[in-house]
Amino acid sequence: MGVIAKQSIKGTVYTYAGAVLGFVNTGLLMPKFLETNQVGLINLLVALTLLFANFANLGMGSVNVRIFPFFRDEKEQHHGIMMLGAGVVLAGIFLSLIVFFCLQGYFKSASYDSSGLLSRYIFYVPVLFFLTSYIFFFSSYFRALFDALTDIFLREFLVRLLTFFALLAYIFHGVDFKGFVLLYVLAYTSPLPIMLFILKKSGQLYFRLPDKKYWHIHKKEIFKVAFWGIVAGFSGMAVANIDKTMVTGFLGLEATGVYSVCFYFGVLIIMPARALSGISAIVVAEAWSKNDREVIRRVYKKSTVNLFLVGSLLYVGILINLDNIFLIIPKYASGRGVIIFIGAGYLFQMLGGMAGVILSTSAYYRVSSWMMLAMILLVTFSNLVFIPRLGLVGAAWASLASIILVNVFLFLFLYVKFKLQPYNYKHLLIVALMAFSLLINQLLPQLEFYLLDIFVRSSIIVIIYISVAYIFKISEDACRIFDVFLNKLHSK
């Protein structure tokens, strides 16, 4: 895939290094050393931050991806598009502050915050979404410059590394919980000053005002892209976080803590897509601008195979170790169904590859926004129905159903409008390989020491999975990477 392959491979390394840290932080240290309502608080602060920050961005992330190719000119400082976006984001932050202060009373109410813990720390939310709004903006700016790696390194790896140090400070009594929350906020917002420093050093931090000529030529399209970007961006983040806020409202902060920790195991499956989508978005946008359907078709086809292959291995790895996971964090055993259903949902999304990126960067990007709005209604309604009846599993069921419906719609739309159909027998081979791996797991004895069991069980399944995938040449890209690895071993 050229640029996509190079950056997605490195990006995946950063993403999974961050995932390991994230697992240590979220899956091990937080559940062991924090109370469940404290874990719930941290995750709720992040959920609220993401909701407000995405609204405050006012669609400028979409503008950077879709419109930037028309402004691209280093000699002319990209005709001032960076300052245009930065100014719009500032206006969006003020609007978000107004909305936040109007809703603050509800968040502090006894029905939402029965423990009173959120009321003591809610003042961090406006600080967080102020800084996070610009992190989102500059993340898209880096991607527009064909540099997705900086964004991935900072947001997927560095933030988790700093969070790890903050947890160590709390565990070894260097700070109390109040101090830990402050360190967590600093870690979460640390990418912004580093992004600005890198842009300044690379000569890409421009303070030129928007070029009037380019503004008049593209303003109509900018307004359209920004508007639908607001809808899609806010809707997407709302869909990803509304379950946590509704779990808090129905079941309390302790339940949110359990849900958030177990939800993270499902998120591990989708992480390769984050690395791939960062650079794919701008490459696909460039392809649309040139009407290069072959590039789009190739990205779509390869992404469905590669992501489904990796996602299936990760899902199998989680399923075969569920018993061991809850030996490590027994307080969170009520979230077992959350891991299973959220994991299944994200695996289905991996099967869809870059379908969402292809639609959102096409001339039909507004359809993507309408789809996300419909998904908000679907998620909200299904959570209202399932959470009171099924508790945490109900929230997971609601997310699973929504993910499946949206991805089926994406496939059908791309097939009808663009005749894009990426699926073949290789996807069936992956399903068979996943079933075969689970069958082999049933034949393995349970070792008494659970950490040893995790290592031995996972190693056997990974070796079998990779070997079969290589023999049947399921993924050209994966086989090529494996060949390079084998050649390096032989040359030593």
Say what the pLDDT of residue 70 is. Answer: 62
Report the phi/psi class of residue 273: left, alpha or beta, with left for phi > 0 and alpha for psi in -120 to 50. alpha
Give Cβ neighbours of residue 360 (< 8 Å, ≥ 6 apart).
62, 232, 281, 368
- Residues 100 and 102: their CA atoms lie apart, in Å, by 5
Please name which of 93, 70, 90 lies closest in space to residue 80, comparing C-alpha atoms. Answer: 70
Task: Answer yes or no: are the C-beta atoms of 429 and 472 closer than 8 Å.
Answer: yes
Say what the pLDDT of residue 428 is. Answer: 96
CA 180 → CA 31, 107, 123, 138, 467, distances in Å? Answer: 15, 22, 15, 27, 44
Q: Which residue has the tokens 């460039």?
A: 286
Give Cβ neighbours of residue 216 (< 8 Å, ≥ 6 apart).
none
Residue type, 257: G
Q: Identify the DSSP state of 202.
A: T
What's the pLDDT tens digit per position in 247-261? 888 888 888 889 988
Q: How many residues does the chain have?
A: 492
CA 360 → CA 97, 280, 344, 354, 370, distances in Å? Answer: 28, 12, 24, 10, 11
Say what the pLDDT of residue 217 is. Answer: 61
Say what the pLDDT of residue 284 is. Answer: 86
Report the phi/psi class of residue 252: left, alpha or beta, with left for phi > 0 and alpha for psi in -120 to 50. left
Say what the pLDDT of residue 79 is. Answer: 54
* Terminal-residue alpha carbon distance, the chain: 28
**Which stretches in the chain have pLDDT values below 70?**
1-12, 67-80, 109-115, 208-218, 275, 278-279, 282, 489-492
- Residues 476 and 306: their CA atoms lie apart, in Å, by 9
The helix, strand and coil proportions of the chain, stated in percent and rounded to the nearest 5, come to 85, 0, 15
Say what the pLDDT of residue 1 is. Answer: 46
* DSSP H stretches of helix in 391-424: 392-418
Collapsed DSSP state (helix, strand, coil) of residue 462: helix
